[in-house]
């Protein structure tokens, strides 16, 4: 560089300046490519949770438990004082709360056809009329007599149709058996 004429020196400096600018431009572009993406939003996830859950949305509330905590799912039917037939689904968990969902209906007495059947039918009509007049339908309410019917650590729901109870049982049984998230909604 010492022996170069002045115009050649300026040409060399201009060439080096262009190369330096090009190098800086490439460096800036590669640094921009390394910029992290926008941080994830803090909104709650809308898909399945990390912990598979069984959720039952029922008239009167919602029950939710981790699928891994379900230890038993059962269904059975029984008569109460010969007047009502109850079909019940129980979901037992490792926690301290048992879920009980049931459907209740009048126990249909088995009577011979003819005059006996007509008398039973008439009695049921009178019962329905009394229910309509009082506005209280015992067949649609959860009725407890404290303390004899209080069940500690039991969450109870009542559904209006046996088909709804079957939906709850099938969903709970599938969640339990397959250990996968399951939701059921009964209106």
How many independent structural domains does the chain possess?
2
Regarding predicted confidence, which is higher, 153 or 181?
181
Rounded distance, CA 32 to CA 37, Å?
11
- DSSP secondary structure of the chain: -TTS-HHHHHHHHHHHHHHHHHHHHHHHHHHHHTSPPPPPP-SPP-S--SS-EEEEEETTEEEEEEGGGEEEEEEEEEEETTTEEEEEEEEEESSS-EEEEEEEEE------TTHHHHHHHHHHHHHHHHHHHHS--GGGS----TTTT--TTEEEEE-S-HHHHHHHHHHHHHHHHHT--EEEE--
In-domain check, residue 68? yes
Structural domain that includes position 15: 1-33
Distance set, CA 84 to CA 81, 100, 106, 108, 129 (Å): 7, 17, 4, 8, 18
Q: What is the mean pLDDT of the chain?
A: 76
In-domain check, residue 73? yes
Among 45-49, 125-129, 141-145, 179-183, top mean pLDDT goes to 179-183
In-domain check, residue 8? yes
The answer to whether residues 7 and 74 belong to one domain is: no
Whether 34 shows a pLDDT value over 70: the answer reads no
> What pLDDT was estimated at residue 149?
61
The answer to whether residues 67 and 16 belong to one domain is: no
Whether 183 shows a pLDDT value over 70: the answer reads yes
In-domain check, residue 149? yes
The answer to whether residues 64 and 27 belong to one domain is: no
The answer to whether residues 23 and 76 belong to one domain is: no
Considering Cα of 164, then 75, then 154, then 138, what sign does the dihedral take? positive
The answer to whether residues 128 and 59 belong to one domain is: yes
In-domain check, residue 123? yes
CB under 8 Å to 64, separation ≥6 — which residues? Answer: 53, 54, 55, 56
Q: Please, which pLDDT band fits residue 90 given cuts at 50, 70 and 90?
A: very high
Regarding predicted confidence, which is higher, 130 or 73?
73
> What pLDDT was estimated at residue 178?
96
The answer to whether residues 94 and 144 belong to one domain is: yes
The answer to whether residues 89 and 144 belong to one domain is: yes
Rounded distance, CA 91 to CA 80, Å?
21
In-domain check, residue 44? no
What is the tens place of the pLDDT at every residue in 115-153? 666 666 666 666 566 666 666 555 555 555 655 666 678
> What pLDDT was estimated at residue 85?
87
The answer to whether residues 94 and 177 belong to one domain is: yes
The answer to whether residues 129 and 83 belong to one domain is: yes
The answer to whether residues 87 and 19 belong to one domain is: no
Rounded distance, CA 110 to CA 98, Å?
34
Regarding predicted confidence, which is higher, 174 or 116?
174
* Closest among 108, 120, 110, 104 to 159, alpha carbons compared: 104
In-domain check, residue 42? no
The answer to whether residues 3 and 81 belong to one domain is: no
In-domain check, residue 171? yes
The answer to whether residues 147 and 100 belong to one domain is: yes
Average pLDDT over residues 43-48: 54
Cβ atoms of 155 and 147 closer than 8 Å: no
């Amino acid at each position: 560089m010492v022996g170069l004429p002045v115009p050649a020196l300026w040409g060399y400096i201009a060439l080096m300046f262009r190369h330096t600018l090009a190098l800086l431009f490439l460096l800036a572009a590669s640094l921009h490519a390394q910029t992290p993406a926008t941080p994830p939003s803090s909104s709650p996830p809308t898909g399945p949770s990390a912990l598979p859950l069984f959720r039952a949305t029922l008239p009167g509330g919602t029950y939710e438990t981790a699928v891994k905590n379900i230890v038993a799912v059962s269904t059975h039917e029984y008569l109460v004082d010969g007047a009502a037939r109850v079909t019940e689904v129980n979901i037992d968990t490792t926690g301290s709360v048992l879920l009980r969902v049931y459907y209740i209906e009048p126990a249909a007495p088995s009577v011979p056809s003819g005059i006996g059947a007509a008398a039973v039918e008439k009695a049921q009509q009178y019962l329905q009329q009394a229910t309509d007049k009082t506005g209280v339908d015992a067949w649609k309410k959860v009725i407890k007599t404290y303390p004899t019917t209080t069940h500690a650590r039991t969450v109870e729901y009542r559904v209006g149709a046996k088909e709804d109870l079957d939906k709850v049982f099938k969903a709970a049984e599938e969640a339990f058996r397959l250990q996968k998230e399951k939701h059921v909604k009964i209106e």
